[in-house]
Structure 1
Amino acid sequence: MLNKNQWFRSSFLEYRTVITMLYLAGIVFTTVSCSEGNGKNKKNAEILEVPVFTLSPKSIEVPQTYVCDLQAIQFVEVRSKVEGFVEKIYVDEGQSVKKGQPLFQLSSAEYNELVNSAKAKLMQAKAEEKSATLEVERLKVLVDKKIYSQSELELAQSKKDMAQSSILEAESMLKNAQVGLSYTTVKAPFDGIVDRIPYKTGSLVKSGDLLTNITDISEIFAYYRITENEYLEFMRGELDKGSDNEQMNQQVKETLQKEQEEISLIMSDGVVYPYKGKLETMEADFEQGTGSIALRVRFPNPDQLIKHGASGKVQMKSMLNDVFLIPQKSTFEIQEYNYVYLVDSENKVNVRSFRPMGRHGLFYIAQDFKPNDKVVLEGIQLLKDDVTVKTNPVGEDEIYKSLDLNL
């Protein structure tokens, strides 16, 4: 029989043997499992199914917005032409006025005296002219009777001419005095709205001081700028139609007028203005420094909602032909380039870079593709170059359902 120590030693050896066998079995099982797992992942990667759609060129109208400066069709500074005190203010700020309506009355006592003095001088000149005329007539009779010599008559005639010139001078002085007097009553130059009135009753104003502004906002001008490239693109389009230099200005004007229904105004709060604008003209020169040129749009303003100096955005629609629409979810961006995955005829994917021309909804507008290119729609984060995939075609109706393309 085994003693106690021998039995314990024998049992420990058997236990260690069993543990070792179990450990080796575990290693073998883990290795086999990993090998089977890698095989399954590899198999899954080889048969990855992705949705794809086929590109075809489109013609679309793309809205383009430009920040604009809104101005009244008439904005005039009303300034004092003479020096004086403000005696009366006939209007209030924000009031609508008519052409010729009195706005301010300046002190006029001095100018009244000038008018009276000019009238007196005119009366004196007329009296002297009448006296000289009578003298000439009297001397004519005496000269005919040989009582006076001809030289006496000529001297009297020269005095009469001087008296007539004095009348003309006095009339001119009277007109100037009356004009100066009229300047003391400041009137509205046209129908419009009164702006802020900085001077109050009793204030002393000098010649040239600003009394107020008058604005006519029955219509509004919207000025916005386009780049030189946009201008050249537009003008080349006109040249391609066969326009010659002599007809260019007229053709541009007619083209601008044809686009009047395509111009909208977006107010500063994002609400679209209910009235459409008419593109009228453009400046003659490019602005130095920015390289842009300004265009002018006229908008009706019957409700006087838009005020002079307001801001907004002009929205126009431009037609783009033979372009491709790439969903943004199909792309990823690295620095200034965008990328998509294309599927070739062997169902292998390859990354492709492109530069979008702009955006239209949730799509990029591009020209760097060919018809029938197949683009991976989703799952691009699981792809890499030369991976073979299983394609699941998606129709255009499903891709472009958010856009009105008249498919």
Structure 2
Amino acid sequence: MTLAHAHMLRGSVHSLAATFAIAFFAAPVLAQMPTGPPVVGYTIAEKKPVTQVEEFIGRIEAVNTVNVVARVTGQLEETTFVEGAEVKKGDVLYRLERPPFEALVQNAQAAVNQYKALLRNAVLTTGRAKSLLSGPAGQQASVDSAIAQQHAYEAQILGAEAQLKTAEINLGYTTITAPIDGKIGRTAVNVGNIVGPNSGTLTKIVSQDPMYVVFPVPAPTLMELRKMYLPKGGFKAVVLRIRLPDGSLYPQKGKLDFVDPTVATSTDTVLVRGEIPNPLAKPAKPGEITIRPLIDGEFITALIEGVEPVIALAIPRSAVLADQQGDYVYVINPDDVVTQRRIQLGQSTPALAMVSTGLSEGERVVTEGIQRVRPDIKVVPQPAGSDPTKSHGQ
């Protein structure tokens, strides 16, 4: 190694050592440099019109549900509906064999005709007996007997006509029709089977529009709602909305129509019911399978909204925190120091929290950067939604 090369090597080693020393000793100094107060966004607590909303878990229930059964016994000859389609009241669903029942009608009609013929003869006999009564051959007993026979035939005619009516009704039962409008389910029997009153449900029809919304309300909450809305018109003062299982808000609005007169002792709740439209998702031709947004039995979230907004002190719901002691917010005082403030919430919405006590109008509430604050620290406040770089002149 030449002298020049050795000199260059020693210079590189000294330079590397100096760089390491600067980095080693400078790192703690940089770590100890103050970062400054955290920047937080705030919202001013102010009074504003707020739509009051209460949420309850409930379910959809059909207004009418009918189990279709056979009322006479016979062989099933035809099924005329499409499973899953909607039917109208009076639409033919099933046809049973008719000949046995037609024969019963004819037999009953023959009995009526027979007794009517006998009655006509009895009337003539009574007339002859009465005409002979004034002569030497007339006897009162003959007249009485003829009249009694006449009345007997009249009674037999009434019985025969009743039998005829029954036979005609049973003949009509061989055609099974829809008793209500609604969506029809699948059939439980196939053509060729013998069905009758003991065969059970042949199919089910569920009404579709409107639908009921049924949900339990805690008894104390119901009392609060009554105090709030009875002076404003009761049911007319609220609107029923629902949130579907996928989290979306159903566009149709409904109305409440029933509150159960008793409290369920096991849950301390009262059953409340509303009615809401359930229109077709798209037009359907007769016999086509239809689609509607609400289904009998599905679980939903019922929302009771006040028709008229109320003026209340409101802040974003995201500003409200909670612990074992209750709800609280972080408030920025005039010296830009954060303080923890316990609050009492009133009827709120998913987006806005209405504050009953603990907060005054005009106070600054931390809504952004909450994770960076703690009580009694100084912060750099700026209106929520503003650019933090601009506040530092960057």
What TM-score do the two structures reach when normalised by structure 1? 0.70
The Cα offsets for residues 22-72 of structure 1, whole Å up to 9 and x where unpaired, read as xxxxxxxxxxx99xx99x97xx99x98877665334431244444442234
The residue type paired with residue 351 of structure 1 is Q
Q: 1:338 aligns with which of 303, 327, 347?
A: 327
Answer whether contact 1:76 1:215 (CA < 8 A) is retained. Answer: yes
Q: Distance in 1 between matches of 2:294 and 2:90?
A: 23
Residue pair 2:343, 2:359 contacting (<8 A) in 1 also: no
Corresponding residue for 2:234? Answer: 252
Q: Percent identity?
A: 21
CA distance in 2, matches of 1:379, 1:199: 64
* Alignment CA distance shift 1:151-1:221 (3 Å): same
Q: Write the distance in 2 (CA, Å) between the matches of 1:269 and 1:137.
A: 86
Counterparts in 2 of 1:97 and 1:76: CA distance versus 1, 3 Å? same
Map of 1:236 onto structure 2: 227
Unaligned ranges ≥5, structure 2 = 1-27, 282-290, 387-394
Question: CA 1:135/1:379 → structure 2, altered by over 3 Å: closer, same or farther?
Answer: closer
1:359-394 Cα distance to aligned partner (Å, 9 max, x none): 645654432224254545556755445x6x4x7665
Contact 2:45 2:313 in 1 (8 A): no
Whether 2:111 is the aligned partner of 1:121: answer yes
Task: Note if 1:353 corresponds to 2:342.
Answer: yes
2:293 aligned to 292, 298, 306, which one?
306
| SS across alignment from 1:367 | strand
Quote the offset at 1:197 in angstroms: 0.4
Q: Using the TM superposition, give the Cα deviation of residue 156 of structure 1 relative to its aligned residue in structure 2, in angstroms.
A: 1.0
2:153 is paired with a residue of what secondary structure? helix
Q: In the alignment, is the contact (CA less than 8 A) between 2:53 and 2:347 conserved in 1?
A: no
CA distance in 2, matches of 1:276, 1:294: 16
1:90-133 CA distance string (max 9 Å, x none): 22313443432322122344433332332222222112211211
SS at 2:130 equivalent:
helix
1:267-311 Cα shifts (integer Å, max 9, x gaps) = 333344443334444333334423122121221414452354153
Who is 1:19 aligned against? Answer: none
Per the alignment, in what secondary structure is the counterpart of residue 352 of structure 1? strand
The letter for the 2-side match of 1:121 is A
The residue aligned with 1:10 is none
Could you say if the C-alpha distance between residues 268 and 166 of structure 1 is closer, same or farther in structure 2, counting changes exceeding 3 Å? same
SS in structure 1 at match of 2:163: helix
Q: What residue is the counterpart of 1:151 in the other structure? A: 141
Q: Which residue does the alignment assign to 2:356? A: 367
- Note the residue ranges of structure 1 that are not aligned, 5 or more in a row: 1-32, 242-250, 399-407
1:286 counterpart = 2:263: yes
Shift of 1:136: 0.3
CA gap of 1:376–1:212, structure 2 versus 1, over 3 A, is closer
Q: TM-score, normalised by structure 2?
A: 0.72
Measured in 1, the distance between the counterparts of 2:339 and 2:110 equals 101
Match of 1:322 among 309, 312, 319: 312
In structure 2, the CA distance between the partners of 1:187 and 1:62, relative to structure 1 (3 Å rule), is same
Q: Taking structure 1 as reference, are residues 103 and 292 closer, same or farther at Cα in structure 2, changes over 3 Å only? A: same
**Are 2:252 and 2:276, in contact at CA under 8 Å, matched by a contact in 1?**
no
Deviation of the 1:349 alpha carbon? 5.2
RMSD: 3.7
Task: Verify: 1:182 aligned to 2:164, yes or no.
Answer: no
Corresponding letter in the other structure for 1:301: P
Range 224-233 or range 340-349, more displaced: 340-349
Higher helix share: 1
Q: Of 218, 225, 241, which residue of structure 2 is paired with 1:227?
A: 218
- Encode CA deviations 1:339-376: one digit per residue, 9 max, x unaligned: 33445677765433335457645654432224254545
| CA positional deviation for 1:239 | 5.0
Deviations 1:229-281 (A, max 9, x none): 3321232135556xxxxxxxxx435x25xx4xx44443333344443334444
Asked whether 1:270 is paired with 2:258, we answer no
Moved more, 187-196 or 61-70: 61-70
Give the Cα–Cα distance (whole angstroms) in 1 for the partners of residues 201 and 371 of structure 2.
Answer: 66
Is the Cα–Cα contact under 8 Å of residues 53 and 393 in structure 1 kept in the other structure?
Answer: no
Q: How many residues align?
A: 344
The residue type equivalent to 1:91 in the other structure is F
SS state of the match for residue 89, structure 2?
Answer: coil
- The structure with the largest alpha-carbon Rg is 1
Q: Which residue of 178, 183, 206 corresponds with 1:215? A: 206
Which residue of structure 2 lines up, in the alignment, with residue 204 of structure 1? 194
Q: 1:265 to 1:395 in 2, by over 3 A?
A: same
Report if the CA contact (8 A) 1:94-1:196 is conserved: yes
Matched residue type, 2:328: Y
